[in-house]
Amino acid sequence: MIEWTIEPGLRCDIVMYAAPNLTGKRTVMQSFPGGNRKGGKLEPGDLRSMVVRAPFGTRVTLRCTDGELWKELPWRAIRMVEGHHVPAQRSGGMPGVRIPDLDKLDAPDAKRTARDLQSSYPLPGDETAWSFGQPGALKGRVRAITIEREGGAAARLLPLEALARDILSAVPAAHREEALHAAARSLEIHLRAARRSDTAARVEALRAWAEQD
C-alpha cells in the first residue's frame, strides 16, 4: 500500500486513477484539519494520474520510496499556486490541479496529456514552478505521498488553530460566518494571553483559510 504522511491541520482531497488521462479505477483520499484521513488505500500500481484539491500553499510530493534516499529516485512535487490551478467547482470548495500523466508536465487544467506538447517537469531547484522534481518513471511506482504546508515550521498550525479549522469544516455554510467570527475571536484571545507576537498574522490566516476553503 502507498504510505501517507500528512502535516496536521491540512485539508486536501486527492482523486487517484489507475490509468493515464484520469481514467481507470478511481480511489479517493481526503484529509481534514483535525488530522483525520479518509480513504487512500491503494497499491502503487493503481496510481498513474490524479486530481489534487487543496488550499493555496499546499505541496504534495510523490515518491518512489519512503526511505531517506528518496531524492535519488524519480519524484514529483505538486504545488497549489495561484494562477496555476482549476477554480473550485462549488462555493466554499478548494482550488485544484489535474495531473493526467505522472511522468509528464501538462497544464494544471488539462484533462488529457498533450502528446504533441509533452515535456518533463522542471528539475529540483526551480521551486517557483507549480510542479517540479526528479523526472523519471513514476506511473505505477509511487510508494509514498507527503502532503505539507509550504514555508517550514513557522507555518505549522498550533493545536487550537487545527481545532478551529476542524470545527469550521463541519459547520453548515449558512452558519459559517458567525462561527468564523467566534473562532477568530477565541483564537485571538488565547494567543494574546500567551503573548505571541504573531497573533494578528495567525488570526488573519484562519480567516483567509475559511474564505477559500
Does residue 164 surpass a pLDDT of 90?
no
Residues above pLDDT 90, as percent of the chain: 49
pLDDT confidence of residue 155: 53
Q: In the prediction, which pLDDT does 153 show?
A: 44
Average pLDDT score over residue span 119-132: 82
pLDDT (0 to 100) of residue 121: 86
pLDDT classification of 10: cutoffs 50, 70, 90: confident
Q: What pLDDT shows up at residue 154?
A: 44
Instruction: State pLDDT tens for residues 35-85.
Output: 788 999 999 999 999 999 998 889 999 999 988 889 999 999 999 988 888
Question: Which position has the higher pLDDT, 195 or 115?
Answer: 195
Has residue 168 got a pLDDT over 70?
yes
pLDDT band per the 50, 70, 90 thresholds, residue 93: confident
In the chain, % of residues over pLDDT 70: 92
Mean pLDDT of the chain: 87
Quote the CA–CA distance of 70 and 55 in Å, as a whole number: 26
Q: What is the DSSP string of the chain?
A: --EEEE-TT--EEEEEEEETTTEEEEEEEEE-TTS-EEE----GGG-SEEEEE--TTEEEEEES-SSTTGGGS-EEEEE-BTTBSBPPSSTT---EEEES-TTS---TT-SS--GGG--PPPPTT-TTSSEEEE-S--TTT--EEEEEETTGGGGPPPHHHHHHHHHHHHS-HHHHHHHHHHHHHHHHHHHHHTT-TTHHHHHHHHHHHHHH-
| pLDDT higher than 90, residue 3 | yes
Bigger pLDDT: 84 vs 142? 142
Once rounded to an integer, what is the mean pLDDT over residues 180-206? 85
